Amino acid sequence: MNGKKSSKRAPTISDVAREAGVSRAQAARALGGYGAVSEAVMARVEAASAILNYRPNQLARSMNTGRSQTLGLVVGDIENPYFSLALRGISDFARGEGYDVITINTDEKVETERDAVRVLMDKRVDGLIVVPCDSRQTDHLRQVLEEGQVVTLFDREVEGLGIDAITASFVSATREAIGKLLALGHRRIAYLTTMPDYSSYRQGALLSVSPVAQRIKGLEQAYAEAGLLYDSDLVKFNAMGPQKVSAIIKELLNMHEPATAIVASDNLIAMAVLKECRRCHLRIPRDLSLLMYDDFPWTELVDPPLTVVAQPVYEMGQEVARRTIAGIRGQKLGPVPQFEANLIERESFGRPRRCKD
Amino acid sequence: MNGKKSSKRAPTISDVAREAGVSRAQAARALGGYGAVSEAVMARVEAASAILNYRPNQLARSMNTGRSQTLGLVVGDIENPYFSLALRGISDFARGEGYDVITINTDEKVETERDAVRVLMDKRVDGLIVVPCDSRQTDHLRQVLEEGQVVTLFDREVEGLGIDAITASFVSATREAIGKLLALGHRRIAYLTTMPDYSSYRQGALLSVSPVAQRIKGLEQAYAEAGLLYDSDLVKFNAMGPQKVSAIIKELLNMHEPATAIVASDNLIAMAVLKECRRCHLRIPRDLSLLMYDDFPWTELVDPPLTVVAQPVYEMGQEVARRTIAGIRGQKLGPVPQFEANLIERESFGRPRRCKD
DNA sequence: ACCACGATTGAGACCGGTCTCACAACCAAA
DNA sequence: TTTGGTTGTGAGACCGGTCTCAATCGTGGT
């Protein structure tokens, strides 16, 4: 139905020039607002442009300016409300500066991330915003940086790349949250993350800058402050999907000393935990306390309303966009602002149950 | 930090040709896999390309093929999980066919939609997927259609444009849901939508194809089947944001014959209703029954789990992408498949309370 | 009247690819 | 040996803009 015959080919600057009776160069100058143009020519060209309903071809413009006015966003999963809110922040800011955004999902697979970066480079985006899915495999990032591309990281840092990363700082909010759990009497607090287990997180250095590492650090600090030592067996990686989470919960509850509280590293895990609890008739916070990262509208609507550590996702989105665009323009913006996560207390914390059952 | 000096300019096909000792045309043929190329040249060019780490400039390619391998998505608010799930469906399918997606938010403002369409046209996207925010102001769509652009609508139809629209069919699921409410004894069932009130929805024709119209139709059918007449004063437009929703709920409960059930046209409204109920200590379903459109993971986690009318959003997203790309390629795909919405019964329906208080 | 200088203007190169066309080389058929 | 048809190849036009450069024009200074 649609493109019956591409009816009228879109008018080009040559058409406008002919209509106005001037040279291509002159028409371009009039429309582009650069160089010197007389009143008369300006008027004629504007009229011609209006008559033909001329719109400049951005592709052609990009060709020789080298700027495409487009940002590339490489993200794990845009369906995840965390990222879609970030995208909203990014595109709102970008739009205000005349940039558009191409989004590509990686599903947290490095191979896909590599492809995505390449595709976006090929499309000559002016800047790249990347949520790197593996802090160790970053050759592709290093390579595009060498080519002079502007890259900004979001949500996760990578050491040694020497580029900005917009992240929230989780240590203090986490320490505060875990402190409350400890005060309530919890000792066995499990941490669930979708992150794959890199042989062991205890190698520390590798993960030292990721949000997960920060959160675990905050957790350990809280234990230390209480004069306790955290049992790192309670950190569970690879909690992707409801089945995995379900299995992990079973494991945690069947330990010699069962977990009495769960920290969910993101909203998907938290939902899986909630679902599993409902299935097994476990009541929160009576049977299990729950802390989740990120605050979404529904978290205060569930039963019980969830205590969460929130980060200003939308604002962080705006900030990556701001810094990326500044980078493109060659501006310096000073140090990355600290986005501090904060604890929002609702009703998913309670005293631990004494014994099993 | 980033673009210190754009270190090495990206190699072009000329560089490859020189390195391989052949003409530009020949190098292009070898790389592009068209025309006739001898074994020897092929090998030399491939080697040169690998050495230089050559990547073709998609912009330049787009220039004269006229195809940018990019889709434009114009959507109300990507933060809305309904749309972000749809986007996921769209980009997954698009990616599989070698297309990328530029997303622009309209905030449901026609003016912004107009701009968005223009910007995307200027960037020469190959096809446009639009969630039109006003079924009456569609000149900009009509115009790009005349220019031969491929456009597919999503979520909402517009009459007289003669293009595909991917929507779910809501009549029967809604009739079923409302039938259950009527059977439980409800008579005063309110419908809340963010849609602005076009003087009055009773003009019918204007809204005849929108999802909202379909839902109201299903609602009225259910009443008719029960031998009742629906009081159209119970349809409340313009329910944008928690405050509006809050005001509307107050109004509904203070009517001479108060509403005993609420139908929320989208998840944002439903959340606002839930929040308001919590604030006013109204219990669902004891004091008020609630039906919401769209099914999201959290709907079965809230208190109580929500009865919803679900639509296969992800699949619908895939389908728009499929049809848009088919349109670009000039293929015909036959009639648009019917996506039937279906009722998922959970626990937010109950008997209406007898009197006030 | 003559020259310098700035404002206007058009010709044409260029961005990095694709693609048409003419021509050379090669082989089999006549 | 001449003819015809197939590769293989390079030259160069083209996509639709931007931008450099030199030429032209008008004008004030001397």
Contact call for A59 and B63, based on CB within 8 A: yes
Closest residue in A to B324 (Cα–Cα): A2
Provide the CA B54 to C1' C27 distance, Å, integer: 36
User: Which residue in B3, B85, B95, B14 sits closest to B48, CA to CA?
Assistant: B14
Q: Which of B77, B101, B150 sits opposite A102 (nearest CB)?
A: B101
Q: How far is A278 from chain B (nearest CA, A)?
A: 8
**Chain A neighbors of B119, CB-CB under 8 A:** 100
- pLDDT per position as a tens digit, B216-274: 999 999 999 999 999 989 999 889 889 999 999 999 999 999 999 999 999 999 999 99
Provide the CA B20 to C1' D4 distance, Å, integer: 33
From first to last of the 357 residues of chain A, give the pLDDT tens digit: 333 344 567 899 999 999 999 999 999 999 988 888 899 999 999 999 999 999 999 999 999 899 999 999 999 999 999 999 999 999 999 999 999 999 999 999 999 999 999 999 999 999 999 999 888 899 999 999 998 999 999 999 888 899 999 999 999 999 999 999 999 999 999 999 988 776 555 544 455 457 888 899 999 999 999 999 999 899 998 898 899 999 999 999 999 999 999 999 999 999 999 999 999 999 999 999 999 999 999 999 998 999 999 999 999 999 999 999 999 999 989 999 999 999 999 999 999 985 444
**Chain B neighbors of A275, CB-CB under 8 A:** 300-301
User: Which residue in B316, B329, B322, B313 sits closest to B96, CA to CA?
Assistant: B322
CATH class for the domain made up of A67-167+313-340 = alpha beta
CA-to-CA separations, A272 to A79, A249, A269, B230, B344, in angstroms, rounded: 16, 10, 5, 40, 20
Main-chain phi, psi angles of A356, to 5 degrees: -80, 145
Q: How far is B312 from chain A (nearest CA, A)?
A: 14
Write down the pLDDT at residue A212: 87
Interface test with B, best of A298, A300, A316 (most B CBs within 10 A): A298
Cα–Cα dist B292/B283, whole Å = 16
First-residue to last-residue Cα distance in chain A: 66
Closest residue in A to B88 (Cα–Cα): A79
**Are B129 and B74 spatial neighbours (Cβ–Cβ below 8 Å)?**
yes
Structure tokens at B217: 């139709």
**Chain B neighbors of A70, CB-CB under 8 A:** 102, 123
Write down the pLDDT at residue A135: 84
**Are A254 and A213 spatial neighbours (Cβ–Cβ below 8 Å)?**
no
The residues near B33 (Cβ < 8 Å, ≥ 6 apart) are none
First-residue to last-residue Cα distance in chain B: 66
H helices present in B97-150, as ranges: 110-122, 139-146
**Chain B neighbors of A302, CB-CB under 8 A:** 298, 301-303
Provide the CA A9 to C1' D25 distance, Å, integer: 37
Write down the pLDDT at residue B201: 52
Structure tokens at B233: 């004063």
Q: How many Cβ atoms are within 10 Å of B182's Cβ, its own excluded?
A: 19
- Beta-sheet pairing, B261-264 with A70-75: unpaired
Cα–Cα dist B97/B329, whole Å = 11
Contact call for B8 and A146, based on CB within 8 A: yes
Cα–Cα dist A161/A142, whole Å = 7
Write down the pLDDT at residue A36: 84
Provide the CA B144 to C1' D11 distance, Å, integer: 38
β-bridge partners, B291: B263, B307
Structure tokens at B356: 């006030």
Closest residue in B to A279 (Cα–Cα): B301
Contact call for A88 and B101, based on CB within 8 A: no
**Are B320 and B90 spatial neighbours (Cβ–Cβ below 8 Å)?**
yes
Contact call for B55 and A118, based on CB within 8 A: yes
Provide the CA B25 to C1' D1 distance, Å, integer: 35
Which nucleotides of chain C does any protein CB come within 7 A of? Answer: 7-12, 14-20
**Are B120 and B74 spatial neighbours (Cβ–Cβ below 8 Å)?**
yes
Length of chain B: 357
Topology given in CATH for the domain delimited by B13-64: 434 Repressor (Amino-terminal Domain) (1.10.260)
**Chain B neighbors of A145, CB-CB under 8 A:** 2
Q: What angle do CA B267, B217, B207 make, to 5 degrees?
A: 80
Parse chain B into domains and list their residue ranges. Answer: 13-64, 67-167+313-340, 169-311
Could you check whether A13-64 and A169-311 share the same CATH topology? Answer: no
- Give chain B's residues under pLDDT 50: 1-6, 203-205, 208, 355-357
Residue B311, sorted as left (phi over 0), alpha (psi -120 to 50) or beta, turns out to be: beta
Write down the pLDDT at residue B184: 96
Contact call for B118 and A55, based on CB within 8 A: yes
Q: Which of B84, B124, B271 sits opposite A84 (nearest CB)?
A: B84
Q: Which of A92, A105, A118 sits opposite B91 (nearest CB)?
A: A105
**Chain B neighbors of A2, CB-CB under 8 A:** 145, 148-151, 163, 327
The residue whose CA lies nearest the C1' of nucleotide D12 is B25
User: Which residue in B196, B197, B137, B130 sits closest to B165, CA to CA?
Assistant: B130
Q: How far is B88 from chain A (nearest CA, A)?
A: 6
Task: Write out chain A in H/E/C secondary structure.
Answer: CCCCCCCCCCCCHHHHHHHHCCCHHHHHHHHHCCCCCCHHHHHHHHHHHHHHCCCCCHHHHHHHHCCCCEEEEEECCCCCHHHHHHHHHHHHHHHHCCCEEEEEECCCCHHHHHHHHHHHHHCCCCEEEECCCCCCCCHHHHHHHHCCCEEEEECCCCCCCCCCEECEECHHHHHHHHHHHHHCCCCCEEEECCCCCCCCHHHCHHHCCCHHHHHHHHHHHHHHHCCCCCCHHHEECCCCHHHHHHHHHHHHHCCCCCCCEEEECCHHHHHHHHHHHHHCCCCCCCCCEEEEECCCHHHHCECCCCEEEECCHHHHHHHHHHHHHHHHCCCCCCCCCCEECEEECCCCCCCCCCCCC
Q: How far is A22 from chain B (nearest CA, A)?
A: 24
The nucleotide minimizing the C1' distance to residue B39's CA is: D8
User: Which residue in A235, A172, A171 sits closest to A201, CA to CA?
Assistant: A235
Options 3.40.605.10, 3.90.550.10, 3.30.360.10, 3.40.50.2300; CATH of B169-311 = 3.40.50.2300
Q: How many CA atoms lie within 13 A of B248 on its CB side?
A: 26
